[in-house]
Structure 1
């Protein structure tokens, strides 16, 4: 495989991923953010 061919394919793929990410961003942007809390469960002390 020619390395320039590989570089071209990788560039094309990254462009596709950037476009898909931009499209996803447009879909997510209008959604309302919800407040969330993060907590951790206590450790199980059984042995």
Structure 2
């Protein structure tokens, strides 16, 4: 654990923005997927 903390470094601005974009994209994909599942559930349950 101590070795990991010694090797770890702060991400630079470019790396941070890339990580932010990837996480935002993943969150958006997850949100769209759950919206589609909820929409399909309402269609099939309340015909």
TM-score, reference length from structure 1 = 0.61
Higher fraction of helix: 2
Superposed, which structure 2 residues align to 1:1-47 within 5 Å? 1-30=11-40, 31=42
Q: CA RMSD in A?
A: 1.1
Aligned residues: 32
Instruction: Give the deviation of 1:28 after TM superposition.
Output: 0.6
Unmatched runs of 5 consecutive residues or more in structure 2: 1-10
Could you tell me which runs of 5 or more consecutive residues in structure 1 were left unpaired when the two chains were aligned: 33-47
TM-score by length of 2: 0.61
Extract structure 1 runs of 4+ deviating beyond 2 A. none
